[in-house]
Amino acid sequence: MRLILANAMLALVLALAACTPAPVPPATEEQAAADQPFSDVAPDQVRIEARYVSATGERLVAVFDNTADTVTVTLPGGRTVTLPRAVSGSGARYSDGNDTFWDHHGEGTFTTGETIVFQGKAEEDD
């Protein structure tokens, strides 16, 4: 009887040991890099400055921060506003619900509520 009990216990221990997963070897450097979150923002594209000029010669500067998903806009009068990215069907739109900056096809528009404060074309780099 003891022999049967000992064999049954041995069989149980072996069965449980067979169910234990094998240890996983440490990841290689390539595997570890592949497991990191993917960022589609190139290092030189994290912050982009764009300048816009209106038909009357006023200037607006927009600094897009692609890591924080914000734009910091400096209006012609010197007022500076930082806005979070907002949903846009086309172009790049940033809004806090009151102030909105929208870049679409090289034209920048800043509105406060329904009032257009600035509208101008992006300046070309020299």
Rounded mean pLDDT, 18-25: 60
75 vs 29, more confident: 75
Spans of all domains in the chain: 2-35, 45-122
CB count in 10 Å sphere of residue 9:
10
What proportion of the chain, given as a percentage, has pLDDT over 90? 54
Tokens of 82: 């930082």
Confirm if 104 and 111 have CB atoms less than 8 A apart: no
What is the amino acid identity at position 60?
L
Confirm if 99 and 115 have CB atoms less than 8 A apart: no
Closest Cα to residue 85, out of 76, 72, 22?
Answer: 72
- Indicate yes or no: pTM above 0.75: no
Q: What is the pLDDT of residues 86-109, one digit of tens each?
A: 998 888 999 999 999 999 999 999
User: Of the CATH numbers 3.20.20.80, 2.40.128.200, 3.90.550.10, 3.40.50.300, which one belongs to the domain with range 45-122?
Assistant: 2.40.128.200
